[in-house]
Chains A and B, each alone.
Chain A
Amino acid sequence: MSSISKAERSMAALFHEFRSIALETGVAPLANGSARLHIGRNDDGSGGTEILSAVKLEVQTVEEGGVDDGRIVCSVSCSPTAYPNLSTGALDDLQHDLTTVLHQTLSHSSLHPSNLAILAGKKSWLLNLDVVILADAGNIYDAVFMAARAALWDTKVPRTRSVQYKARKSGKASADMDVDEEATSGFDTRQVSTAADFELQDYWDEGEVLEGRDRWPVCLTLNLESSIQFLDANLQEEASSPLRILMLYSFGTSPPALQAMRTLNQGDLTLAHIKTLISSAEKYASELFKALNAKLVEEDLRRNQKARERFSGRLGF
C-alpha cells in the first residue's frame, strides 16, 4: 500500500492526535470497580472502539508457603459483535493474545497493590479484571489498557476486620487438683496474630481505594510507516502499517518506568531507532496519562457529587 500522506489521513487528524475518547466509571453496580470506554464514537453512537471493563474481588485461601499478598488475574473477552467476520477459533486466538499481553503486564510484581491482604498467611483478595471488547475500530491495545486502568482506579476494596474466637474458660476448677495455668510473660513481645477469620465492616462507602493507582500503566501504540509515526490508527491504517510498536509506561515513579514493549506486524527495527521511539513515546504517553487522570478524577467527583445530592435531597436540605 502506498504511504499515507498527511492529506490522506481521515478526519483531518494530525498524526499525534487521538480520536475523541469518552469514559465512564461505575457502570457495573455488582462489580467492585468498572469502566466503559469509547474511542472515536460518532454522534449517533455508532462506530468507534468500545470496551467494558470490570474488577471483581474474591476471597481466596492462601496455601502453605504461598504469597499472602493477593493475586491479580486479567482476562480479555472479545464479543463476536466486535469481530463479525472472524470464526470462533480465530476469535479465541485473538482473545488469548490480548489476555496474555494484559495479564503479563498488569500482574507484574512492581505494580502489585499493597492492600490486597486480609489475614496474614491465611486469606487474601484475588482480583479478577475482566475486559469485554464490544466494538473494534482500531487502536485496541491502547483502549484495553485505558479501560483496565480506569476500572482499577475505580476499584474499592471492602474493609475487613480480623475476628478471633476465644473459647470460654471451663467452670470451677476442682478444689482437689492443683491446676497449673500458663502465665503470659510480660517479656513476650511477639505480635503473632491468632485471628482465624474476618468479617466485613459495615461502612457507608464500598471500601478503601485500591492502592497504587498511579502505577497502573498506560499503553501507547506507535504505528510506523517509513519515517512517519502516528498514533490512534483506525482499522485501515493499522492494516497498512508495516510495523507497530506497543509501549507501556508506568508514571508512578519518576523517571517513568517502561513496563512492557511489544512489536506487532512484520517490520523490523534498528536499536538506534528503538531508542528514539522510546523517548517520543514517553512524551505522548505522559500526555495521555495526564488527560486520563484528569478524566478519572472528574468522574469520581461527578459520582460522589451525585451521591451527595441524592443524600441531601432525601434529607430535605
Chain B
Amino acid sequence: MASSSRVEILNEGGFRSDGRKQFELRDMVIDLSQQGTADGSALVSHGLTQVIVSVFGPREAKMRSQTIYDRANINVELSIASFSTGERRKRSRGDKRILEMAATIKSTFEPVVQTTLYPRSQIDIFVQVLQQDGGLLQACINATTLALASAGIPLYDFVCAVTGGVHSTSPMLDLTTLEESDIPHVTVATMPGSGKVTLATMETRLHVDRFEEIFRLACEAGQILHKEMRAAVRSRTGVLISAMQSAAPRQGIKKMIR
C-alpha cells in the first residue's frame, strides 16, 4: 500500500506542519514607518501573511451624504493583490467576499474608535493585502489597530485578533492556509485592557463543547499580541520624539506612554 503523502496537521511529537507547537504563534513583524501621504500606516506580517493598512483622517468626508451628525464615519476599503495567493485570482473591488470582510473590520472598530470626538468627519482605512498564508482577518485587524494608533486617532483600547482552531480534540492557534482549509476555526478580536471581545467570527462547523476552550485560548493569545503591538508603538513613538527633540531641543517633551 502506498504511503499517504498527506501533510499531518499535528503529528505525534506535537509539531504542526510548519514546525510550530500547538499554541505557538507565528513570527509577527510590525513596521510603522510612514507610507506615502497617509496619516498613519502599518505593515504587519504574521509569518507569511502580509498586510499593509493606511489610515487617513479624521478629515472632511468625500460625500456629505455619508456623514453622521454626532460622530465620525469609518470607511474601510479592502483590496487583495492578485499575486497574494498561490493561485492568481483577480478580485474586483466590489467582490462580495471582500465587501463582507471590509464590513467586518468596520464593525470591529466602530466601538473602539472614539468617533464622538469628530462629528461629521470621515476616517478612511485602506487595507492592502500583499501576501496570504492564513489568518487574513486577524492580520487586517491587527494592522488596522496599529495604523490607527500611528495616525494618532483616539482609541479606547487596542484590538488584538487571533485565529484558533481545533484538530480532533487538540486546540491550535494562529493557523496557516493549510490548517484553515482542514480544521474548523474561529477568529476572535479582543480589547486586552478590559477583556471585551469585539469580534468572534466562524464559518466552519465546530462542536459547542470545543468552542469554549478555543475561545478562551484565543482571548489569552490576544494578550500576548498586545504586548508585541505596544512595544512596536512605543519604539515608534520614541523615534518620533527623538526626531522632534533634535528639531526643537529647548522645548521639553514629556514621554507619556502608559
Give the number of A-B contacts (CB < 8 Å).
85
Contacting B36 at CB < 8 Å: which of A34, A58, A81?
A81
Determine whether the beta carbon of A28 is less than 8 Å from that of B130: yes
How many residues of A are in contact with the other chain, CB < 8 A? Answer: 33
B67 within 8 A of A: no
The B interface is mostly helix, strand or loop, or mixed, namely: loop
Name which of A1-9, A42-50, A185-193, A279-287 contacts chain B. A42-50
Determine whether the beta carbon of B36 is less than 8 Å from that of A130: no
- A102 to chain B: closest CB distance in Å? 14
Name which of A72-80, A108-116, A251-259, A268-276 contacts chain B. A72-80
Determine whether the beta carbon of B77 is less than 8 Å from that of A80: yes
If A28-B131, A135-B37 are given as contacts, then 9 extra A-B residue pairs at C-beta distance below 8 Å, sorted by A number, are A28-B83, A28-B84, A44-B33, A45-B35, A47-B37, A56-B82, A81-B41, A132-B128, A136-B36
Question: A interface vs B, CB < 8 Å?
Answer: 28-31, 34, 44-48, 50, 52, 54, 56, 58, 75, 77, 79-82, 84-85, 87-88, 92, 128, 130, 132, 134-137
A132 to B33, CA, bound (A): 19
Determine whether the beta carbon of A44 is less than 8 Å from that of B34: yes
Determine whether the beta carbon of B62 is less than 8 Å from that of A85: yes
Determine whether the beta carbon of A81 is less than 8 Å from that of B82: no
B54 within 8 A of A: yes
A92 to B124, CA, bound (A): 18
- B34 to chain A: closest CB distance in Å? 4
Contacts of B35 on A, CB cut-off 8 Å? 45-46, 50, 81, 134-135
B249 within 8 A of A: no
13 A-B contacts (beta carbon < 8 Å): A30-B83, A30-B86, A45-B35, A47-B37, A81-B36, A81-B38, A84-B124, A85-B62, A128-B82, A130-B82, A130-B83, A130-B88, A134-B52
Q: Ordered nearest first, which 4 A-B pairs have the shortest CB separation?
A: A135-B36, A46-B34, A54-B83, A81-B54
- A161 to chain B: closest CB distance in Å? 21
A128 to B79, CA, bound (A): 18
A88 to B126, CA, bound (A): 12
Determine whether the beta carbon of A56 is less than 8 Å from that of B83: yes
Contacting B90 at CB < 8 Å: which of A75, A82, A84, A137?
A75
Determine whether the beta carbon of A52 is less than 8 Å from that of B93: no
Residue on B nearest A33 in the bound complex, by CB: B83
- A62 to chain B: closest CB distance in Å? 19
Determine whether the beta carbon of B83 is less than 8 Å from that of A81: no
A84 to B56, CA, bound (A): 8
Determine whether the beta carbon of B81 is less than 8 Å from that of A45: no
B85 within 8 A of A: yes
- Which residues from 131 to 164 on chain B have a C-beta closer than 8 Å to any C-beta of chain A? 131
Residue on B nearest A135 in the bound complex, by CB: B36
A88 to B54, CA, bound (A): 16
- A57 to chain B: closest CB distance in Å? 9
Determine whether the beta carbon of B62 is less than 8 Å from that of A130: no
Residue on B nearest A126 in the bound complex, by CB: B88
A137 to B84, CA, bound (A): 25
- Which residues from 8 to 54 on chain B have a C-beta closer than 8 Å to any C-beta of chain A? 33-38, 41, 48, 52, 54
A58 to B34, CA, bound (A): 35
With contact pairs A46-B36, A132-B128 given, residues A88 and B93 touching in the complex (Cβ less than 8 Å): yes
Determine whether the beta carbon of A58 is less than 8 Å from that of B130: no
A82 to B56, CA, bound (A): 11
Determine whether the beta carbon of A79 is less than 8 Å from that of B84: no
- B133 to chain A: closest CB distance in Å? 9
